[in-house]
Amino acid sequence: MEKNRLKGFQQKSSFFEGYFSKYKDLIPEYDKFLEYLKTPLPQYFRINNLKVLDSNHLLELLKNKYGLIFEEVKKVPLFYKVIDSKEPSLGNLEEYGLGLIHSMTLTSSLPVIALDPKPEELILDLCAAPGGKTGLIAMLTEDKAVVVANDKRIDRLTALVANLKRLGITCVVTTCYRGELFPLGIPFQKVIVDVPCSGEGRYRVGMEGEILYQKFGRANLPSIQKGLLVRAFDLVQPGGIIVYSTCTINPEENEAVVDYLLRKRQAEILDWDSPLPYRTGLTEWEGKTFHPSLKLTKRFYTHEVEAVGFYVAKIKRLI
């Protein structure tokens, strides 16, 4: 029995080694990366500052009530990494249901940090559901921005609205459009477009079926991503900011998409201060040369940030 279990695990590990081998020269400390895929992704949560005035009291409550062991992520305010918990999911906690904490992977905060939302700004989250980034925008602006949260699927919007109500957020308006067809004419100051992607930054040993679905069950992701990013650009006012993000490693879904925008529109890549370790964006991949400013975009690898892998590009509309 134990031999069969070990053999199965080795086969799964070999599957991943084969899948990610195309990125062997791209991913830093590649062997360490492969080893990290054998471990579960850690849980993170953020304290909801819209409801919680005394975070220390809440943290003590979580420790005493559930035996929750966690550590503060000092570089990302109000985020905590779960070290151990009797509950397999933070979503089971009463404090989660009350909206005092919100569970989200640490790196999901990065596109919002790059966006740098401010109170009273008009902001669009083009692919918003299930609403983690929308909620974080509201928290960082003390619920004083005007946020339009859009998603093409009504069932996903239902989940988003439930999250917003749980967190006590009131500054968000929801819409249901295909992102590529979102109506023009509203001069947004900032747009965040966290696009559907192959999700390679989330993969773990044992997810072979999901990988095959992502690879063969979704049509031409780079084409969809390019359409979403161009529409995001067209929706922001001149001088406005767009943040493009994915949770994948694939340069065809990352740098190649941003490079496409630079060739189609008058845009500029901006640098931004990341609180987490990153690698610079690529300016070349498999014989394709990208705009040199792509080095200002940022790659976050799962084994270096101990969270979901991400890619983030901050873009300014020039005219």
- Residue matched to tokens 């990988």: 211
Q: Is 127 a catalytic residue?
A: no
Chain centroid to CA 246: 6
Q: Which of 127, 171, 197, 247 is catalytic?
A: 247
Burial 209-236 (b: 16+ CB within 10 A, else e): eebeebeeeeeebbebbbbbbbbbbebb
Q: Residues 274, 113: contact at Cβ < 8 Å?
A: yes
Per the omega criterion (within 30 degrees of 0), is the bond before 130 cis?
yes
Give the separation between CA 106 and CA 128, rounded to whole angstroms: 17
Side-chain-side CA neighbours of residue 164 (13 Å): 24
3-state secondary structure of 131: coil
Give the separation between CA 299 and CA 106, rounded to whole angstroms: 14
Q: Provide the annotated active-site residues.
A: 247
